[in-house]
A and B are shown apart, each in its own frame.
Chain A
């Protein structure tokens, strides 16, 4: 099954390109999918009408959380360092039980108040526009390099297929920008179905091929063990070194918490139809982690197959592996899976960031009297700008820079946790304490990242770069005599929380007034906001039509049950 180097990639290329064309058509056609009478509202364009059911939400969220970069970079990391790269698996397992309650609360309060972004929630909860602005800026800044990373994912495929990344990347993202502009969140929702089919196909094919060739997984792992034993680095291996365990755990927790805070996750969640949809999806999504885990193991498969990355770009390991072990048509499908897998999250991220710009910067500060239509237009153009910025980062600067920016992005988005996630539970924290905590967290996070050098080279001791070399901050900086390191984001978050918690009673004692909390406890458990929306027209137009009768009677019995509950 091993491919011959220098083989003609034409079949793979044609499959890749035709799926790309199919996806483009779907992206534009998505605007007609459950077509609203008016797409010129932000809820329609940016949240798909807030009416996605279980399946669509599953595709959307899985397309959102499991990005192309994950599919490419996690196996590449496993290829490079072994077990430490596997952190993505505990991270995307722990994230769901962690978010099960807060995400549903967020859904409810957002639907009650019509929020589209987390920063809007913060504004309503803490009554502070500066805080909301800070959260929005942090969100946008953290998202942009993430979009750039999706380009890195596509780029790795393009390199292996033999296309020149420059213009083909540009075309890919012009297409992406165009259908996002046109169809809003409906486009990635529809496309993610294709993405999921392709990715699951790829994983199954990989399992079959590893299972039927050579000595199966045990052969793969013995080859990997031999490679890591030969390498001079002390941090790689099939198991975690004692010193790197803390980093593994903190990185998993930190990434899980950060995932909740990224605008694109919340955008995906808000598009769900009701609370039950969100909960069902959180229940089902860990199964997708299994898929990610198998893909991560492909890093070991690449080692045992002797795959060498194209040039110095270690992210090309997985596409190279596909080329070696898959028949061409299958490799073409796998490439398309990664490529389409990059478009989906990139589209959602740009929509999420654009919504933040519109709702938290444009409307409060630039045009307070903006209509819905103006908002939507601004969001559309903002999504273009965000993507343009990402393309420029990739083309003009370099890939490594994007990866470093993403590292910083994860650390800084985590600093919005006290306002957004804790805010879902309590409004006790003072608004100015939150601002102080956020700024302190950002500063310390960046300072700690600055202190981390990148070590590498053949002897694993050369300092490749003095600053921003990783996210594992050695505890030795604190004077502790340990080799253990800890994820910067989590440490900065602790400082952030500490500042916020200490400052809150101080500010209260000083008599600085709290912001007004506009949310009510009942807002956090509200459900199925969409119903009234439809019922309104129904009521104005008269008696419900035949199909709606059942709904009305359900609603009525719901009211009765509700009033009885109150009487008890």
Chain B
């Protein structure tokens, strides 16, 4: 039995008050849902960089579609 990876959100606040937010342990678009509340609280987002976990989940979904199709 495998345990699900722990989900964490890392927020780094620079000395000038700028913040960088990174999600870990999420798959696919669920990371966006998790970070949305923090993004709203911390101000206007200036950019987004998708992690490997996000793309990995997308590839898995495509494979599942192919197998079922």
A interacts with B: no
Contact surface of B with A, Cβ cutoff 8 Å: none
